[in-house]
Structure 1
Amino acid sequence: MSTTTDVLIIGSGPVGLTLANLLGQQGVGVLLVEQNDELIDYPRAVGVDDEALRAMQTAAIVDKVLPHTIPDQKIFMINGDRAILSEINPTTREFGWPRRNGFVQPLVDRVLLDGLDRFPSVQVRFGAEVVDLAEETDAVVATLAGGETLRARYVVAAEGGASPTRKRLGISFEGETRPSDGIVIDVANDPIGTPHAVFGGDPTRSYATIGLPHGIRRWEFTLHEHEDASVVEDDEFIFELLAPHVPDPAALDIIRRRVYRHHARVAGRFRAGRIFLAGDAAHVMPVVGGQGWNSGIRDAFNLGWKLAAVVNGRATDALLDTYEVERMGHVAQMVAVSLSMAKEMTDHDPVAAAERDRIAANRTPEEREAQRRQAFKPQPKFEEGVVVHTPLPTFKTVPARDVPRLAGTIFPQPQATDRDGVRMLLDDATGQGWRVLTWNNDPTAFLSAEHLATLERMDARLVQVVPEAQLPWARENAAAGVTVVGDLGGDDSLQAWFDARPVGAVILRPDHVIAAECLTQELDDVLARVFRAASIA
């Protein structure tokens, strides 16, 4: 027996499930296969960021994710004497959502799985192990353990760090594995009850403790090199670990305990013909940075709209080459930051720990504020791929300012209003997908008939942003097919964004990345360049 589909996804973790939801929204035929008989029920990740929540918003599923989160979760980095080395507490909402959130991964994974019921084009099969992949001219043939074959135009391997697909393709996985393991202990009926997370850089034994939703608390301890993984089953050892942390370790309601290994690795390629690697199959990083789960969601978000565009005939296969171009550099940055944080907080050398404490004690107020704002976290910025860089304008109407060009970065998501004046997040007011957004102008007045027709085939949105005071007039006079959005004003508004930029128009990709920014009169020419960069068919 053989089954044919557009995209075969291997692995039912958060990356595969998110990708399936995004493709399902676009009517793409998806078969997701998982060798296990059910979802993994133990949590791995414990933090979700604002970029990932925006991806959940795009997938129209964020309202079901939020009940399993703790928004604005603060982190204290402390030393062996419990002195605070730094505090991480970013409370801004650049992308519309809290920048740090604790969460319970199995419950969010279940939300993602249940979300697939919305899409008749998506099928999920558990207990289906892929044992071979063979690429043909126009498809990949996957063989399951029972001999059944599956035929797909494209395959996405999202089956974890041990990825059989990556190994089968002979793709390197360079990096390092830390010499000591870690042990995770999750308990119900949180005996501490505080909402924040604590990372303890204790040179005798490093640890982390994190308050999670629904009364769950996690502890993570670094095992010494001489300690075998079997200690996870030793109650006496577990109670000894927890004794300095709670009044009575024996009274804890321990719901799971596991040993894990710290890896920091990136695959040598993210694409091999019609096969793609995503999530842990493409990169793994230490848990200290809290970015493993989120980096995988970025993979799915980046690859999802591109696969849908190619499968639906809106772009050529060349678009898919930009997935690796755009994701690999940012992933490498994130792995490096996570590894640096892990080494800093898990170093058991007393001399090195003392030097770390000395540096932390001598930070300036500005450095402490940068730590609090999480300024060390690298933001995606694409120099290549589906991005068009335009020069700063030199016209006398535009003040001369030394401002960075923002093409290739994520567009902000402030509160705005729809055409009827109802307040909501910007993406909900404009609608999802490709967007051509102009300040106070009718975008159709600057676009050729040919480009308007192409945008219509792409299901792109033409968005006219006006001050909220102008909404009644703009609503009555908007051109056909133009979405009018009201700007609320203030420091975080779209007007403030345009005031700070020498541009009047932006072209936004479906993943909210700025494909290009320009003066409004330049829009038609710049849009043509974006079409070429995106291999629009």
Structure 2
Amino acid sequence: MSTAHLSCPVELSTDVAIVGAGPVGLMIANYLGQCGVNVTLVEKLDSLIDYPRAIGLDDESLRTFQAVGLAENVLPHTTPWHAMRFMTPKGRCFADIQPKTDEFGWSRRNAFIQPLADRVLFEGLARFDTVKVLFSRELEGFEQSDSGVQLTLKGADGRRECLKAQYLIGCDGGNSLVRRSLNISFEGKTAPNQWIVVDIANDPLSTPHVYLCCDPVRPYVSAALPHGVRRFEFMVMPGETEAELSQPENLRKLLAKVLPDPDRIELIRSRVYTHNARLAGRFREGRVLLAGDAAHIMPVWQGQGYNSGMRDASNLAWKLSRVIKGLAHDRLLDSYELERRDHAKAMIDLSVLAGHVLAPPKRWQGTLRDGVSWLLNYVPPIKRYFVEMRFKPMPQYTRGALIVPSEKGSPVGKMFIQPQVLTDAGITVLLDEVIGENFAIIGWGCDPTWGLSAAQMAHWQALGTRFIQVLPDVQLKAPSDAHHEVVRVGDSSGRLREWFARGSSSIALLRPDRFLAGLATPQTLGSVCDELALALSAQQLVSLTPVVSKVA
């Protein structure tokens, strides 16, 4: 999009420009700021959005908050182990989803208050001198060249500024100007029915969890949120308008369906939403990338819109930081779309399916759903499938910045587990606290540097790599004979031993987003690291695979 005709009396520069101070833009800015990258975050509003939107936070997203050092700050605004219950019109629960697994270190499902979580992210930026936030700046246009992107911004007073950046990330929502300016398609469907969302303070029910009530007359949702907030969502029926439903007498009629006394409430606000299922045709155009709702939007029924955006942020930020620092080639950014687009589509499809379960397009489908669900509740494997959320497609990358596995069932491309470990100092922490923002080469029982030459060690250290030796915790009391760069941790829970015992490899190569990029043994580590270096599009290694001999 050309902006050359607009005059800019003020010129600014940065490494990365992010348009949109929503949760995805804020998370990317926190990660890049943590890495010392210069970031300018541009927001057309004069402050953060303060009304509730998303209400579900996955364990993967909490792990992303942890990666930028803000997990403990956001936890007070969450309710862990939040169950999701699908109810028939007669009040029978036919799907009780309350997974108790915590393989990534956090509760699988959490309710949360989004404005407070966004505030945590925004306040986290104050830690970084390299991050600047510009409120009340509207993006008028941008143009890109081989060397960078130039944005034209207009302030509330009408004054224009030019912002020059190496890269631009569009996090500006479903109506993204960045995406539209690039003529990138946004294909999908809009749901035929809207929904009105009503948020109430001092929860008049105070029952825990979230209930999706499959009422054929008017489906609705009742959700308990932190800090005594209750959310109701009602389907807007044909012919109804937001203005009509927002009238006190009509709002009272809706709430009378779910509350014994609809007059005694403390209304926070009500809003009407349209549910869309859309996916951008591509996530990258030269030096411009799309993330969050600018790249994909989905119905709310599985709470995956926010969490998919967090996955984008986690995937993109570490790659962009390495490119900006000259530690990886620009082509590494191509792997962002390769890895994220297919999974985003899978989450869109799941969300659409959940919406059809809640409000089937045809009445007979609801009757069939209720009958089949009653029967399936008595089949233990199927019941576990729903209760443990095994239906949720977890990301597994089969191409991109990893060593593509040749064997079926390989864990490569999946997120690595995060158990509690014991440090040499005798402190119990989650595994990621040992890794930090870095790559990690983790060896069970062995020295994870044994198969590397000095040149390879230097390369992986330059990329930012933690070399971690995992031992049974009782062995931490013995002196270490590992390389001085190796950090030892004790596997006090036994989960890491169990993980490594499932396969034939004793060394795991982790990316900064905690996805498993490759597997090795001490004797194959050198060649695997060379292969991974090429897959990461980093500077090509030449003749670095060593011939190793080690005598006890």
Q: TM-score, normalised by structure 2?
A: 0.93
Q: Take 1:384 and 1:471, find their aligned partners in 2: how far apart are those partners?
A: 37
CA contact (8 A) 1:417 1:487 kept: yes
C-alpha separation in 2, matches of 1:210 and 1:126 = 32
Residue equivalent to 2:97: 88
In structure 2, the partner of 1:395 is none
Match of 2:282, SS state, is coil
The answer to whether residue 476 in structure 2 is matched with residue 467 in structure 1 is no
The Cα shift of 1:79 comes to: 1.4
Correspondence for 2:7: none
Q: Which residue of 2 is the match for residue 478 of structure 1?
A: 482
2:189 is matched with which residue: 151, 173, 176?
176
Counterparts in 2 of 1:252-401, with a 5 A limit? 252-347=265-360, 349-363=362-376, 364-391=379-406
Alignment counterpart, residue 60 of structure 1, candidates 69, 74, 85: 69
Question: Which of the numbers 17, 34, 39 marks the counterpart of 2:48?
Answer: 39
- Partners of 2:44 and 2:434 in 1: how far apart? 40
Partner SS for 1:225: coil
Alpha-carbon separation, structure 1, partners of 2:309 and 2:430: 24
Identity %: 42
Tell me what 2:118 maps to.
109
SS across alignment from 1:159: coil
In the TM superposition, what is the alpha-carbon distance from 1:310 to its structure 2 partner? 0.3
Matches within 5 A, 1:413-428: 413-428=418-433
Whole-angstrom CA distance in 2 between matches of 1:186 and 1:180? 20
1:10 and 2:14 matched: no
Partner of 2:82: 73
1:445-464 maps to which residues of 2 (within 5 A)? 445-464=450-469
User: How far apart, CA to CA, are the structure 2 residues paired with 1:231 and 1:275?
Assistant: 42
* 8 A contact 2:419–2:493 mirrored in 1: no
Alignment counterpart, residue 513 of structure 2, candidates 496, 511, 514: 511
Indicate if the aligned counterparts of 1:205 and 1:348 stay in contact, CA closer than 8 A.
no
Number of the residue aligned with 1:487? 491
Letter in 2 for 1:27: G
Q: List per-residue Cα deviations over 1:51-100 (Å, max 9, x = no partner).
A: 00000001000000000000000111001111111000001101000000
Amino acid aligned to 2:492: L
Alpha-carbon distance in structure 2 between the residues aligned to 1:430 and 1:391:
27
Deviation at 1:391, TM superposition (A): 4.5
- Corresponding residue of 1:501: 503
Query: What's the secondary structure of 1:521's corresponding residue?
Result: coil
Q: Distance in 2 between matches of 1:155 and 1:432?
A: 22
Q: Give secondary structure in 2 for the equivalent of 1:362.
A: helix
- How far, CA to CA, are the matches of 1:411 and 1:162 in structure 2? 34
Q: Aligned in 2, Cα 1:390/1:228: closer, same or farther, shift over 3 Å?
A: closer
How far off is 1:478 after superposition?
A: 3.3
Aligned mates of 1:389, 1:520 — CA distance in 2: 19
Q: 1:136 aligns with which of 121, 145, 148?
A: 145
Task: Compute the RMSD of aligned alpha carbons.
Answer: 1.1
- Does structure 1 conserve the Cα–Cα contact (< 8 Å) formed by 2:97 and 2:386? yes
How far apart, in 2, do the equivalents of 1:445 and 1:180 lie? 61
Extract structure 1 runs of 4+ deviating beyond 6 A. none
1:459 CA displacement: 1.7
Evaluate the alpha carbon distance shift between residue 232 and residue 41 of structure 1 in structure 2; reply closer, same or farther with a 3 A threshold: farther
How far residue 518 of structure 1 moved from its aligned partner, in angstroms, is: 2.1
Partner of 2:215: 202
Residues 1:152 and 2:160 are matched in the alignment: no
Structure 1 residue aligned with 2:549? none
Whole-angstrom distance in 2 between the partners of 1:162 and 1:536: 34
- 2:67, 2:436 within 8 Å by CA — same for their partners in 1? no
CA distance in 2, matches of 1:182, 1:375: 28
Aligned residues: 524
- For residue 264 of structure 2, the aligned residue among 242, 245, 251 is 251
1:429 has 2:444 as partner:
no
Please give the per-residue CA displacement for 1:449-489, whole angstroms capped at 9, x wherever unaligned: 11100011112111111110110215x43321111111114
3-state SS, counterpart of residue 337 of structure 2: helix
Answer yes or no: is the 8 Å Cα contact 2:77–2:226 preserved in 1: yes
Question: Is 1:438 aligned to residue 443 of structure 2?
Answer: yes
Q: 2:31 aligns with which of 12, 22, 25?
A: 22
Could you tell me which amino acid in structure 2 is paired with residue 194 of structure 1? T
Which secondary structure does the structure 1 equivalent of 2:508 belong to?
strand
Alignment counterpart, residue 411 of structure 1, candidates 396, 400, 416: 416
Distance 1:521 1:469 in 2: 26
Distance 1:249 1:496 in 2: 53
> 1:128 Cα deviation (Å)?
0.4
Indicate if the aligned counterparts of 1:421 and 1:486 stay in contact, CA closer than 8 A.
Answer: no
CA distance in structure 2 between the partners assigned to 1:482 and 1:411 by the alignment: 19
Tell me if the contact between 1:390 and 1:518 (Cα under 8 Å) persists in the aligned partners. no
Deviation at 1:148, TM superposition (A): 1.3
Q: Which residues of 2 match residues 218-233 of structure 1 at below 5 A?
A: 218-233=231-246
Shift of 1:387: 1.1
CA deviations 1:362-381 (Å, max 9, x no partner) are: 11221111100001110000
Aligned-pair CA distance for 1:390: 4.4
User: In the alignment, does 2:221 pair up with 1:216?
Assistant: no
Aligned-partner Cα distance in 2 for 1:357–1:31:
51
Whether the 8 Å contact between 1:21 and 1:59 is mirrored in structure 2 is: yes
Distance, in Å, in 2 between the alignment partners of 1:173 and 1:444 is 46
Tell me the SS of whatever aligns to 1:264.
Answer: strand
- What displacement does 1:9 show? 0.3
Is contact 1:180-1:223 (8 Å) kept?
A: yes
Q: Deviations over 1:282-339 (max 9, x none)?
A: 0000000100000000000000000000001100100000000000010010000000
Structure 2: which 5+ runs fail to align?
Answer: 1-9, 540-552
Residues in 1 aligned to 2:470 and 2:170: alpha-carbon distance in whole angstroms: 40
Q: Distance in 2 between matches of 1:390 and 1:221?
A: 46
Tell me, what secondary structure is at the counterpart of 2:33?
A: helix
* 1:420-462 deviation line (CA, Å, top 9, x unaligned): 2211111113433100111111122111111100011112111
Structure 2 SS opposite 1:445: coil
Matched, 1:188 2:188: no
Does the 8 Å CA contact 1:232/1:258 hold for their aligned counterparts? no
Residue in 1 aligned with 2:543?
A: none
Which string of whole-angstrom CA distances, capped at 9 and with x for unpartnered residues, describes residues 197-248 of structure 1?
0001111011111100000010011101211121242111111011021111
Q: 1:181, 1:225 within 8 Å by CA — same for their partners in 2?
A: no
Corresponding residue of 1:400: none
Aligned mates of 1:375, 1:441 — CA distance in 2: 33
Do the aligned partners of 2:420 and 2:493 also contact (CA within 8 Å) in 1? no
Runs (5+) with no aligned partner, structure 1: 393-402
Instruction: Output the CA distance in 2 between the equivalents of 1:488 and 1:154.
Output: 43
